[in-house]
Amino acid sequence: MRAKRSVEEENAMQEGKKIMRVKPVQQNTYNLFEEPRMSPIALLAKKLIHTVRTFKNKNKDYKSWQTILSEIKEEGKKIRQKQKAKKLLSERFDLFKRTLRDEGMDKAMIKKMNVLDDDDDEDVETMMLKAKEQEQTMSTEDKMMQAPVKLIREGTER
């Protein structure tokens, strides 16, 4: 900023204009405000809030509504990210199970593999039923996407 100011001063001197310089204020004392001045209604509201908080036995340390809203937004983002990751993981696992079925693995072999380290057979059975339902309701686009993968697998087997 100083370089710009000095260039302006040089231009002003060349044109013959007077340059206004800022003079510092010299005083013996300065008044410093701790808090900005509040209107009478704001003071009344502040006192009312203080009275209600003491009546409810609330402590002095409380968060403003803006910080609470920002915390809620952050928590919402975290929840959405977890849901997205869970959905992505389930989609990948479903694809993995479909691929195993395409390879000729049966239900018993998949249970023996115990991919998720679950000891609960009912969960595995329900997952297998879900995978079977998804396989039956698979769209033509999904089937077309699996065709090149099957072709590559068959080529590598021979």
Judge contact between 43 and 52, C-beta under 8 A: no
Verdict on whether the full-model pTM lies above 0.85: no
Residue 96: the pLDDT is 80
Please compute the mean of the pLDDT values over residues 133-140 and round it to a whole number.
Answer: 72
Question: Which residues lie below 8 Å from residue 60, measured CB to CB, with a gap of 6+?
Answer: 53
**How far is C-alpha 122 from the geometric centre of its chain's CA atoms?**
35
Residue by residue, DSSP assigns the chain as: -HHHHHHHHHHHHHHTPPPP-PPPP--S-----SS----HHHHHHHHHHHHHHHHTT--S----HHHHHHHHHHHHHHHHHHHHHHHHHHHHHHHHHHHHHHHT--HHHHHHH-TT----HHHHHHHHHHHHHHHHT--HHHHHHHHHHHHHHHHHH-
Question: Which residues lie below 8 Å from residue 71, measured CB to CB, with a gap of 6+?
Answer: 63
Q: What is the tens place of the pLDDT at every residue in 16-32?
A: 667 777 777 788 887 77
Q: What is the tens place of the pLDDT at every residue in 57-91?
A: 887 777 777 888 888 888 888 888 988 888 888 88
Predicted confidence (pLDDT) at residue 4 exceeds the cutoff of 60? no
